[in-house]
Amino acid sequence: MNEDIRRQIEANFTAFQKSLPSLLASHRGKFALMHDQEIVEFFDTARDAFHSGQKLFADGLFSVQEVVDVPVDLGFFSHAVPHG
């Protein structure tokens, strides 16, 4: 795995975990689109978040994470997706 991709994955996931307690009350069950350690927007489905990420980010790196009580690692797809 490319080092830049790995760093993006780790940084976004860490930032999401730190924000999670405050997100649960207002965004539980939604999917957060993340880029460079920032939540960009929330979506009802992972698919919608993924498609929006593809359209928004020229660098092709973004994360999609579900807002649930315990962050679930759904694999590479849930964290960062290189556009290519």
18-42, pLDDT tens digit by residue? 999 999 999 999 999 999 999 999 9
**Is 20 within the bounds of a domain?**
yes
The Cα–Cα gap between 38 and 19 comes to 10
Q: What is the pTM of this model?
A: 0.79
The residue that leads in pLDDT, 80 or 56, is 56
Count of structural domains, the chain: 1
- Name the pLDDT band for 71 (thresholds 50, 70, 90): low
DSSP helix, strand, coil percent of the chain (3-state; round to 5): 50, 20, 35
Strand, coil or helix: 66:
strand
pLDDT at 78 over 60: no
Domain of residue 14 covers 3-79
Q: What CA dihedral angle connects 45, 8, 41 and 49, to 10 degrees? A: -20
The residue that leads in pLDDT, 62 or 29, is 29
**Is 35 within the bounds of a domain?**
yes
